[in-house]
């Protein structure tokens, strides 16, 4: 960004540019950040968006540490206090929760975009492999996070995680004791250590090995995604759940969506380690080895029907198994264990069937698309679609009205908080960020327009 050093810049801009120039000597600007001057499809920089959400999680999580108590008797109560007593604690917890979901989702979307566009090729194998590991650690990080709440849902997840570890061959019990200690007090403090320090540090190290040198930092899109997270936090405020009481048998709960697929596997009743551990591991392994199998020189998804079909089939499989994870037999007459059981025949057949259908349809569809493309190329290029072009004056008008809109939203956010509608308030705050993202986008568009001669 330090390409212009004209005299017209004000001292503040000069100072910032001076700092950026100085930073070029550091490791930090070994990464080349590009601030795009126009709208780009966010699909191309989903990884950067994931990183921004990671930073959001770091900030909100750090603040939550001030009040969270990692003990057996204190954990749930401290979260309740954050949620209900501490001013704006509800906000931080909601943003943290929804950002964690957004991070897992964005990471998965990033994976699939890179997969379908064949970006794991051309010497990007290391970036790809570290990315897969990073994604796995991200899910574990999210898992340890929602366990810290120590409600019934968290304890269900802890129990399943521990029994899976336990079921590993030979070293299972040792591994269980080494990772989880012995008892719920140990688990809370250990997951706390893992969640707030060990795993994030591991993620930072992995990021160093994962970041490509050229990065797109699209400020409007980052603002919009943060705004969307806040709005989701307002629309679907995360609840506290039921406090874990060892003397009360837990009601029926399901784990978070990113671990509900392994949960479905376990509930089929087959051997735990194979179904809950090995099969998901096999799934991850498939992605790990893909760059070493797909050696063809073609990149586009349309040119690689087999691998695209595999990708779509894997999405189909994720959808099916995740949905099964949420399925509970609605017949309340049955015993709990019978309601939780998933018929293995039904489960595995739907999984295989849907995967095969996805694979077959995609494969056939891509053949068709290829034929269409060849036909289209013969016809010649299509004219570009509709483009909205604002004049400099209208850019000013729209920005000003958005500023007024934000002012109104500010008042509304304040008022709704005062009235106790915390979720409405957080929704308004998110809307403000989205509005700001539009302003920043219009600004970067507007400053590139030729300056009109002002009439005297």
Contacts with other proteins, residue ranges (CB under 8 A): 71-74, 155, 158-160, 162-163, 166, 173-174, 176-186, 246-247, 249-250, 335-337, 340
Residue among 158 and 231 whose Cβ is closer to other proteins: 158
Residue among 117 and 185 whose Cβ is closer to other proteins: 185
Maximum distance among all alpha carbons in the chain? 87
Distance, CA of 445 to CA of 8 (rounded, Å): 20
Contact 395, 445 (CB under 8 A): yes
Residue among 173 and 360 whose Cβ is closer to other proteins: 173
| Least distance CB 370 / other proteins (angstroms) | 51
Burial of 269 (C-beta count, 10 Å sphere; 0-12/13-18/19+): middle
- Look at the alpha carbons of 93, 97, 99, 103 in this order and tell me if their dihedral is positive or negative: positive
Distance, CA of 27 to CA of 212 (rounded, Å): 13
Distance, CA of 382 to CA of 377 (rounded, Å): 10
Residue among 173 and 212 whose Cβ is closer to other proteins: 173
Residue among 59 and 72 whose Cβ is closer to other proteins: 72
Q: Which residue has the tokens 């691998």?
A: 307
Distance, CA of 15 to CA of 236 (rounded, Å): 43
| Least distance CB 42 / other proteins (angstroms) | 41
| Least distance CB 278 / other proteins (angstroms) | 17
Residue among 36 and 181 whose Cβ is closer to other proteins: 181
| Least distance CB 341 / other proteins (angstroms) | 10
DSSP SS3 for 214: strand
| Least distance CB 156 / other proteins (angstroms) | 8
| Least distance CB 69 / other proteins (angstroms) | 11
| Least distance CB 348 / other proteins (angstroms) | 20
Residue among 125 and 271 whose Cβ is closer to other proteins: 271
Q: What angle do CA 445, 448, 453 make, to 5 degrees?
A: 120
The phi and psi torsions of 175 (rounded to 5 degrees) equal: -60, -40
Alpha helices in 327-343 (DSSP H): 336-340
| Least distance CB 10 / other proteins (angstroms) | 57
| Least distance CB 195 / other proteins (angstroms) | 17
Residue among 179 and 254 whose Cβ is closer to other proteins: 179
DSSP secondary structure, 241-291, as one string: -PBP-TTSPP------GGGHHHHHHHHT-S-HIIIIIIHHHHHHHHHHHHH
How many residues would you count in the chain? Answer: 456
Contact 229, 104 (CB under 8 A): no
- Look at the alpha carbons of 263, 267, 271, 274 in this order and tell me if their dihedral is positive or negative: negative
Residue among 303 and 341 whose Cβ is closer to other proteins: 341
């Amino acid at each position: 960004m330090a390409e212009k050093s004209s005299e017209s810049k004000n001292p503040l801009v000069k100072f910032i540019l001076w700092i950026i120039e100085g930073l070029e000597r550091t490791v930090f600007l070994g990464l080349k950040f590009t601030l795009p001057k126009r709208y780009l499809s966010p699909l191309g920089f989903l990884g950067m968006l994931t990183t921004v959400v990671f930073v959001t999680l770091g900030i909100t999580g750090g603040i939550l540490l001030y009040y969270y108590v990692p003990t057996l008797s204190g954990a749930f109560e401290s979260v309740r206090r954050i949620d209900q007593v501490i001013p704006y604690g509800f906000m931080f917890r909601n943003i943290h929760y929804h950002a964690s979901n957004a991070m897992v989702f964005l990471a998965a979307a990033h994976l699939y975009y890179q997969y379908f566009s064949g970006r794991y090729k051309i010497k990007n194998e290391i970036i790809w492999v570290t990315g897969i590991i990073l994604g796995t650690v991200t899910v574990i990080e999210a898992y340890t996070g929602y366990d810290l709440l120590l409600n019934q849902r968290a304890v269900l997840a802890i129990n399943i995680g521990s029994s899976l570890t336990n079921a590993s061959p030979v070293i299972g019990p040792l591994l269980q004791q080494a990772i989880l200690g012995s008892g719920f007090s140990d688990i809370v403090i250990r997951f706390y250590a893992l969640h707030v320090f060990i795993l994030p540090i591991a993620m930072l190290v992995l990021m160093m090995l994962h970041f490509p040198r050229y990065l797109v930092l699209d400020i409007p899109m980052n603002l919009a995604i943060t705004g969307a997270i806040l709005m989701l936090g307002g629309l679907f405020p995360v609840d506290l759940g039921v406090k874990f009481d060892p003397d009360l048998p837990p009601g029926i709960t399901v784990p978070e969506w990113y671990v509900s697929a392994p949960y479905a596997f376990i509930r089929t009743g087959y051997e735990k380690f194979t179904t809950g551990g090995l099969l998901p591991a096999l799934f991850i392994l498939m992605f790990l080895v893909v760059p070493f199998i797909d050696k063809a020189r073609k990149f586009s998804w349309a040119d690689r029907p087999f691998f695209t079909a595999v990708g779509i089939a894997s999405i189909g499989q994720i959808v099916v198994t995740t949905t099964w994870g949420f399925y509970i037999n609605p017949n309340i007459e049955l015993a709990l264990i019978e309601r939780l059981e998933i018929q293995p025949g039904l489960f595995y057949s739907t999984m295989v069937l849907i995967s095969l259908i996805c694979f077959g349809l995609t494969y056939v569809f891509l053949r068709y698309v290829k034929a269409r493309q060849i036909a289209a190329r013969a016809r010649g290029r299509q004219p570009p679609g509709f483009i909205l072009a604002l004049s400099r004056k209208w850019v000013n008008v729209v920005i000003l009205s958005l500023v007024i809109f934000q002012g109104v939203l500010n008042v509304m956010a304040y008022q709704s908080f005062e009235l106790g509608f915390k979720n409405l308030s957080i929704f308004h705050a998110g809307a403000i960020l989205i509005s700001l993202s539009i302003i920043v986008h219009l600004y970067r568009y507007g400053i590139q327009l030729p300056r009109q001669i002002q009439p005297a």
